[in-house]
Structure 1
């Protein structure tokens, strides 16, 4: 059972006084039959940097897309119910690509990855586990991490998947910020990570 989230949005009146412009349940969410037990809820989208703070009161209308807008960000919650091992054993990265295609991100799935939902986005993602626990699955099992309530992750464009192997639902908050692999003009970049194809 997924929850509803109250979303309060502030702003200014005609005299510049701080006000609450919106106080209602967040209504842009996505549940998919081909990704059972997972619900994404968007709270806010910014389509540029610096972000506009005296613009529209509602930014989450339109198609539900996984990645943030170009030069922008998205603030969302993802709820993960426990995975059924028997169901997961029957899935492949092709199933993952079909599910992610519904969010405009079919090409973001890692073909042949260790988990059917293993994916990568061109973004820096700030994540926090709010309730429950979840495994962050990486390219190699030795790098997998069990995250519990209060733990945070800075996900920097790497292959990963989220696997709830426990018995209770896990709720995570995310802020995804549009990113690039490297800044070519940055002489401090010593990693030399090749750009994605």
Structure 2
């Protein structure tokens, strides 16, 4: 498998990405009629698969900020957003929590979102590549605080998948030297909706 950036086709739905990593589930808590905490729902990971199965997204949760928990409005928002298929990498006036799996030697496209991102390596190792040419190796438990920079991710392993969990929150527009640095998905991202937060 080549380590060069490839052009991804439109994502396809899949019940499970074919990896050597453990499956996961999402527990959503809530309250019963007496106000006691309960597990409202337990959901298995549902993957959107890219590039024939070498990279995938598990969209864990998304909501406006601040989220409205009354009457399960947040759950309805997330479910409607997912059913509509219009979720980009980030969300306007809100947050996104996403799990991403990378196949061995996979390199994603260089891209930027108008968001403040927390990227946590939970399985394997991942290289953070920036448009200044630098590459920084991250191991399990390492966290990248991504501040609307052009970047790419690379799984350096030749045999094992890597997994990261990302939390993205919308930001105000970023200006450097009078130039606006908005969302840029890079080349080959047909089928991936824009976030719509830098219009």
Shorter-chain TM-score above 0.5 = yes
- Count of aligned pairs: 156
Extract unaligned runs of 5+ from structure 1: 85-114, 184-190
- Distance in 2 (CA, whole Å) between partners of 1:170 and 1:70 is 28
Kindly indicate whether residue 89 of structure 2 is the aligned counterpart of residue 42 of structure 1. Answer: no
User: Which of 164, 167, 181 pairs up with 2:173?
Assistant: 181
Aligned to 1:152: 143
Extract unaligned runs of 5+ from structure 2: 1-17, 183-199
User: Is contact 2:24-2:45 (8 Å) kept?
Assistant: yes
User: Is contact 2:58-2:98 (8 Å) kept?
Assistant: yes
TM-score (norm 1): 0.70
Shift of 1:116: 6.3
Aligned to 1:30: 48
- Distance in 2 (CA, whole Å) between partners of 1:69 and 1:140 is 27
Does the residue aligned with 2:54 lie in a helix, a strand or coil?
A: strand
- Distance in 2 (CA, whole Å) between partners of 1:67 and 1:193 is 25
Kindly indicate whether residue 25 of structure 2 is the aligned counterpart of residue 6 of structure 1. Answer: yes
Kindly indicate whether residue 86 of structure 2 is the aligned counterpart of residue 69 of structure 1. Answer: no
1 or 2 for the larger relative contact order (CA 8 Å, sep ≥6)? 2
Aligned to 2:105: 83
- Distance in 2 (CA, whole Å) between partners of 1:82 and 1:150 is 19
Aligned to 2:179: 194
Larger Rg: 1
Deviations 1:25-59 (A, max 9, x none): 133x210236x41011011111x221223424351
Aligned to 2:117: 125
User: Is contact 1:67-1:178 (8 Å) kept?
Assistant: no
Which ranges of 4 or more aligned residues in structure 1 deviate by more than 6 Å?
A: none
TM-score (norm 2): 0.70
- Distance in 1 (CA, whole Å) between partners of 2:181 and 2:157 is 33
User: Which of 125, 135, 138 pairs up with 2:130?
Assistant: 138
- Distance in 2 (CA, whole Å) between partners of 1:182 and 1:33 is 31
- Distance in 2 (CA, whole Å) between partners of 1:144 and 1:45 is 30
- Distance in 1 (CA, whole Å) between partners of 2:49 and 2:152 is 17
User: Is contact 1:182-1:193 (8 Å) kept?
Assistant: no
